[in-house]
Amino acid sequence: MPVLKLADGDLNYRFDGPADKPVLVLSNSLGTDLGMWDAQIPAFAEHFRVLRYDTRGHGQSLVSPGPYSIEQLGRDVLALLDGLGIRKASFCGLSMGGLIGQWLGIHAGERLDKLVLCNTAAKIGSDEVWNSRIAIVQEGGSQAMRELRDASIVRWFTPAFVEAQPAQVQRITEMLAATSPEGYAANCAAVRDADFREEIGRIATPTLIVVGSEDPVTTPEHGRSLQERIPGAELAEFHASHLSNVEAGDLFTKRVLAFLSK
């Protein structure tokens, strides 16, 4: 896959869809890579030039010294757009990707056509939770990442989906096991330190909020709070846990496409 050369390393990205279509950027969650969006690509690529990338510290992208910040990750997106000559794009991010989307909406709204914030919140988790996870990963390395993979199943998917789609669950959770411990810990710090509760009302880009009814990480209440604070935001809820794009599948894809195509 092609890479964009940043000052401190390479950012891995991929295009799908016709070059003459409007650009849609997809941003992965913490502990996954651009492959988390595979189910959406056939439909999205009919209407958009889809630009996926591995967030810094994930997949095939650079693992620079941490801690990272959401601003840093947001500026990576702007550097990617600038490097590819893209003036404006729509953006869809899930969980950590949704935090990146919030930062872009607040600080670079002029670069966005539409914004989709999936399974995210203006503030995700507590400092204690993130500090504990960072310490576990820094101490345990790759073994800790494998243990996190197993623990993530109950957060990312409902029990019914785990039983019905074991291959899908394995494919996604193996992304976490393969993530660099250093990159993962650095990104945990970025999520820990992000708090957009006082700024979220500044987003003026047309926005869709997606929530999973069974999401224990970023609950439907978190999504409704975003909707209330972002002027004119729409809300879509699916029977899913944290990775709603995977679990809700076609329903997710159709709803997001309907919003982006308005």
Query: Mean pLDDT in each 10-residue stretch from start to end of the chain (262 residues)?
Result: 94 98 98 98 98 98 97 98 98 98 98 98 97 96 93 95 97 96 98 98 98 97 98 98 98 98 91
In the prediction, which pLDDT does 188 show? 98
In the prediction, which pLDDT does 94 show? 98
Quick check: pTM over 0.85?
yes
> Which amino acid type is present at position 3?
V
User: Number of C-alpha atoms within 13 angstroms, CB side, residue 223?
Assistant: 28
C-alpha 36/C-alpha 94 separation (Å) is 10
C-alpha 208/C-alpha 236 separation (Å) is 7
Selection from 162, 156, 167, 180 nearest residue 241 by Cα:
156
In the prediction, which pLDDT does 240 show? 98
The alpha helices in the chain, defined as continuous H runs, are: 41-47, 70-83, 96-107, 127-156, 159-164, 166-178, 181-193, 220-229, 244-247, 250-260
CATH fold group of domain 3-260 = Rossmann fold (3.40.50)
In the prediction, which pLDDT does 1 show? 79
Selection from 54, 88, 56, 84 nearest residue 71 by Cα:
56
